[in-house]
Structure 1
C-alpha cells in the first residue's frame, strides 16, 4: 500500500473565531503530534485586524514553533464588491456564499489584497507558501495575480494547485455544512460515506470551519474522524510538507 496521509485544515482563523476552535485544538493536541494548517484571515469581516491582537499573534507564533503552517486565507473574508450583475454571479455570490471575497475582483484589486496579506505575514516573520480563497472562489484576475507573487500553491475542494502554472494535484477533502440541523445530519452521512470511498486516497484533507465547533455532532465527528484516520496509519502533515514530498517524488 502506498504511503497515505491526512491534512487537518482550519478555515477562517481569526481572533473572533479562536474561541470556537480552542477546545477542539486542545483535544487534538492530546492525541499527540498532529501538525495543523491554519488558514489565516488578516482582518476577518473588517472587524478583526490581526495587527491589533498581540495575544492571538503570539498563539500563532507558538503554533508555528510546533510545526504547524499558516496560510493566507483572503484578506477580509467577505464579498464587499459591487452587487451581482448576472444570474450566475447572483447564485455564486448570494446563494452559494456571501464570503467569496476574490470571486469578482479584477487583477489590480486581487493583487492589492494579496500583497497586503504578504506584507502582513512578512511583518510578523511568518513563512508563507499558500493562499486559499474564501469559499475557494477565484476570479481570473486573482489567478493571474497568484502567478505573479511567488506563492507555492493554492487549493480548491478536491485539488491542490502548484503555482505559478496551476498544475493540479488530486487531494480530496471532507467538509461539513453545519448551519442547520438537517444539514448537519446530511453532512454526517455524506462524510462517513466519503471516508469509505476515499480509503485508498493518497491524502485526505479535513476542512474544518468555526461553525462546525458550535455543534456537538459536527465537532465530535471531526475528532472521531481524525482518530480513525490516524489509527488507520495515515500520517498527519501540513499542506506544504505534503506538497514538498509530492513534488520531490514527481519525475
Structure 2
C-alpha cells in the first residue's frame, strides 16, 4: 500500500518570493505539487494587492497545477482570548472560536481572496489549530477540506485522515539538529507506511541548510514510494476509500488514496 506526501508552503511575501519560486521549481521536477497557504491579512497588515508580485506568482502556480488553501484571516486571537493565547500560543486565530465568530472571519477572508482572483475550498488554520465551531463554519461556507495539525478533514464526507504535520521544531536547539530531526521524522513516518505532511515556512527557505533538508525529506519519502498529493486532493472528487463511512458517522482513515 502506498502512502501519500503533501507539502505546504506558508509565509509568502515579496521578500521571500525568489526562493519560493526556486523551491516550487525543485518540487515540480520531482512531480510534487505545492499547497500554497494564502493569508488575507496576516498580523492585521494591509490586504494584499491583486497586482503584487506574490499574488501574480500564486495565480500562475495555481494555473500550473498547484493548490491553494485559505490560511486564516488576520492571525490574531480575539480581544477576550487571553486564555486561548496562553494555551495555544500567538496567532492561533481559529483555535477556540465558536461557529458564528469563525463564520464572520471566513466571510471577510473569502471576500479578500476573491478580490485577488482566487477561489479556495481548502482551509489550513493558523498554527494548525481549529475549533469544532470552526469546522462547523467551514462546512456552512462551502469548504471541502480542513487540514489541522493532527489530521486532514474531508468536510463533505465526514472523513478524518489522521496524520501529523512535520516542520522545523522551534524547541530543538541548533539548525543542524532541526534539519536532521525533520529528515529523520519523515523517514520513520514513511517507513511505517503512514502519511507524510510537510509544512514549510518561506522564511526557512532563505537559509541553505533548512532548504536542503526539506528537499532531502521529500526525496526520502518519494524513494519509499509515497504518492505526491495536494490538500485539494482530499475533496469529494477523490474516490472514497473502501470501508470509509459517509458524513454523519465520522470514519478515520490513514490512506485516503487506497483502493
- Shorter-normalised TM range: 0.7 to 0.9
Q: Distance in 1 between matches of 2:87 and 2:17?
A: 27
Aligned pair in 2 of structure 1 residues 227, 186: CA closer, same or farther (>3 Å)?
closer
- In the alignment, what sits opposite 1:13? 12
Give how far 1:222 is off: 0.1
Q: CA deviation at 1:12?
A: 3.4
> Of the candidates 94, 102, 106, which is equivalent to residue 102 of structure 1?
94
1:149 pairs with 2:141:
yes
C-alpha distance in structure 2 between counterparts of 1:47 and 1:112, whole Å: 18
Residue correspondences, number: 243
Residue number among 48, 67, 85 corresponding to 2:65 in the alignment: 67
Corresponding position: 1:168 with 2:163: no
Q: State the match for 1:91 in structure 2.
A: 86
TM-score, normalised by the number of residues in structure 2:
0.79
Structure 1 residue runs of 5 or longer lacking an equivalent are: none
Give the match for residue 41 of structure 1: 39
Question: In structure 1, how many angstroms separate the alpha carbons of the residues matched to 2:85 and 2:58?
Answer: 36
Quick check: 1:14–1:43 contact (8 Å CA) kept in 2?
A: no
Separation in structure 1 between the aligned mates of residue 135 and residue 234 of structure 2, nearest angstrom: 22
CA RMSD, 1 decimal:
2.9
Task: Flag the 1:72–1:193 CA change in 2: closer, same or farther, 3 A.
Answer: closer
Specify whether residues 132 and 228 from structure 1 end up closer, same or farther in structure 2 by C-alpha distance, changes over 3 A only.
Answer: same
Aligned to 2:214: 222
2-side partners of 1:48 and 1:90: how far apart?
23
Alpha carbons 1:14, 1:42 under 8 Å: kept: no
1:146 CA drift (Å): 1.6
1:15-30 residue pairs with structure 2 within 5 A?
15=14, 17-18=16-17, 21-29=20-28
Moved more, 69-78 or 125-134: 125-134
Distance 1:190 1:230, change over 3 A: closer
Task: Work out the CA distance in 2 between the residues paired with 1:180 and 1:248.
Answer: 38
Cα 1:46–1:207, aligned 2, differ >3 Å: closer, same or farther?
Answer: same
Residues 15 and 44 of structure 1, relative CA distance in 2, 3 Å threshold:
farther
Structure 2 residue 74 is the aligned partner of structure 1 residue 76: yes
Q: Which residue matches 1:112?
A: 104
For residues 79-102 of structure 1, what are the alpha-carbon distances to aligned partners after superposition, in whole Å with 9 as ceiling and x for unaligned?
A: 353351x4xx35324xxx211112
Higher helix fraction (1 or 2): 1
CA contact (8 A) 2:85 2:92 kept: no
CA contact (8 A) 1:146 1:164 kept: no
Q: Alpha-carbon deviation of 1:234?
A: 2.4
- Quote the offset at 1:42 in angstroms: 0.9
Q: Is the 8 A contact 1:104 1:139 kept in 2?
A: yes
Hey, what's the Cα distance between the residues in 1 that align with 2:238 and 2:166?
Answer: 20
The separation in 2 between residues aligned to 1:49 and 1:17, in whole angstroms, is: 18
CA distance in 2, matches of 1:244, 1:147: 13
